[in-house]
Structure 1
Amino acid sequence: MIYTKKMAFIGLGVLCFMTVAQAQVAEQKPVALSTPQDSLSYALGVDIARSLKSSNFDIDLNVLSKALTAAYQGKDVLFNEELVATVIQRNIRMMMEKRGAELRKPGEEFLAALKSKPTIKATPEGVLYEVLVEGTGSQPKATDEIKVHYAGYLINGEKFDSSYDRGEPINLHLDQVIEGWKIAVPLMKVGSKYKLYVPYNLAYGERETGTIPAFSALIFEIELLDIIQPHEV
């Protein structure tokens, strides 16, 4: 759980960070390190400060220092344990949502611009596709095994995978591929070549996968070569 791991780490060095926070609030006065305890406290303080800064929390050092002092000295604090957890979890969630929105934006804008092009078609689920070559063979079912050639690209044109580059097509079970393929490939006939534009939620979602960043809209060129056999489920 995000909160548990983060709080365990912060709790380990929270008292050490108080030295850094108080020093910054007090006009950056020099810190005298005359004992091993001083050195350890300072080192842990720097480590915790860097951790908090890298987490991108919007922190008021003056308020933080007061809370640290009160909690360490056993005085009454404004938040109980449940409220502490709630506030931190809420801010972590807000930060993640903001980051997700920022990462989704390029793909969303890219797909939105494509929709106005006359050669682009769309499925009800949101996959955009372009027919490069229309085949005349059979159409695969959602559980079929198929043979394809394909290439995958990020929206900036960077290629992340290609059976063409490997020099041979690949056999795939349609019920084991990303959702965008499950939706669009059954629209193809054997002999077809389509270009798919897949939103992040129908590709690899919110997770980073190999060289594919999280929240990435993806582009695929797919050539349906054959339907091997139905995939038994």
Structure 2
Amino acid sequence: MVAYQFTNSAEPGAAPAAGTPAGAPTTQPFGDQYKTASYGIGYDLGKNIKQSKINLDPKLIAQGMEEGFSGAESKVSPEQFQAAMTNIQKEMFVNMEADQKVAGQEYLAENGKKPGVVTTASGLQIETVKEGTGAKPSASSTVKVHYTGTLTDGTKFDSSVDRGQPAEFEVGGVIAGWTEALQTMKVGGKSRLVIPSSLAYKEVGAPPRIPPNATLVFDVERLEITKPGAPSPQPAR
């Protein structure tokens, strides 16, 4: 069964217009509110399917809806329907992986051209917003930070700032991009990190907030080192 949320709006899915009282009468383009709602549901469904890039047949969707309304027996069994949907979801996941990988590569390529952005050997990109002072942590240090994480399209997926509570953790106990970046930052420093998926959650992602192969953007402020660790090993000369 599909649940549908009805909204008091002139356009399907839109918020009520400013200054329009809730429940105010509006023109019904199809003669009455039920016909208008019927069209709106169909329009939203079609629009969502198109945006999802699933290769579904609109004529068969309409046929299925008509036969479902009439009470006719379904031409597919629940098992057949479930198997088809499972395969489609797998296909969507593969396509999402590919789309995210390409989008991440393009974002990294453009971001790397910006003044002040340093791309390390691992592919991590660091833009220093504010220089800190004092010591840098090692991988075994425990630090306290504020951060906001977004996808490359600007979608926010996590923020200690919004929670009003800094995060505290061991530098070596987080994703590789963070472990590398934090060891370059002094207390009080602020940086913008662009972390390729290979240094983040790779092809697995962190559902539902982080898709597979997602490049991540973090605005990070190093607040303090709450527990010093062993010095990081220095590169051989």
Scaled by the length of structure 2, what TM-score is found?
0.59
Can you list the C-alpha shifts for 1:42-90, whole angstroms capped at 9, x where unaligned? 644x74376247525xxxxxxxxxxxxxxxxxxxxxxxxxxxxxxxxxx
Which residues in structure 2 correspond to 1:58-137 (within 5 Å)? 100-137=97-134
Which residues in structure 2 correspond to 1:5-24 (within 5 Å)? none
Question: Given the alignment, which residue of 207, 215, 218 partners 1:217?
Answer: 215
Offset of 1:197 from its aligned partner? 0.2
CA distance in 2, matches of 1:156, 1:134: 27
Offset of 1:102 from its aligned partner? 2.6
Conserved in 1, the CA contact under 8 Å of 2:142 and 2:226? yes
Alpha carbons of structure 1 residues 53 and 169: separation in structure 2 relative to 1, 3 Å: closer
Conserved in 1, the CA contact under 8 Å of 2:143 and 2:227? yes
Aligned pairs, number: 157
Q: 1:163 maps to what in 2? A: 160
The DSSP-based 3-state class of the residue aligned with 1:140 is coil
Conserved in 1, the CA contact under 8 Å of 2:148 and 2:156? yes
Q: For residue 226 of structure 2, what is the amino acid of its counterpart?
A: I
Q: 1:205 maps to what in 2? A: 202
Alpha carbons of structure 1 residues 96 and 162: separation in structure 2 relative to 1, 3 Å: closer
Q: For residue 188 of structure 2, what is the amino acid of its counterpart?
A: G
Relative to its length, the structure with more helix (as a share) is 1
Identity among equivalent positions (%) equals 37
Offset of 1:168 from its aligned partner? 2.3
CA distance in 1, matches of 2:170, 2:217: 20
Can you list the C-alpha shifts for 1:97-131, whole angstroms capped at 9, x where unaligned? 66532331111111111111121101110100100
Conserved in 1, the CA contact under 8 Å of 2:200 and 2:216? yes
Deviates more, 1:165-174 or 1:192-201: 165-174
Conserved in 2, the CA contact under 8 Å of 1:173 and 1:231? no
Conserved in 2, the CA contact under 8 Å of 1:133 and 1:192? yes
The DSSP-based 3-state class of the residue aligned with 2:150 is strand
Scaled by the length of structure 1, what TM-score is found?
0.60
Alpha carbons of structure 1 residues 99 and 149: separation in structure 2 relative to 1, 3 Å: closer
Q: 1:55 maps to what in 2? A: 87
CA distance in 2, matches of 1:99, 1:216: 10
Alpha carbons of structure 1 residues 226 and 109: separation in structure 2 relative to 1, 3 Å: same
Conserved in 2, the CA contact under 8 Å of 1:130 and 1:196? yes
Offset of 1:215 from its aligned partner? 1.2
CA distance in 1, matches of 2:143, 2:93: 38
CA distance in 2, matches of 1:101, 1:201: 14
* Structure having the higher Rg: 1
Which residues in structure 2 correspond to 1:139-154 (within 5 Å)? 139-154=136-151
Where does the alignment leave 5 or more consecutive residues of structure 1 unmatched?
1-38, 57-91
Q: For residue 184 of structure 1, what is the amino acid of its counterpart?
A: A
CA distance in 1, matches of 2:220, 2:214: 18
- Let me know the Cα RMSD of the aligned residues: 2.7
The DSSP-based 3-state class of the residue aligned with 1:197 is strand
Offset of 1:229 from its aligned partner? 1.1
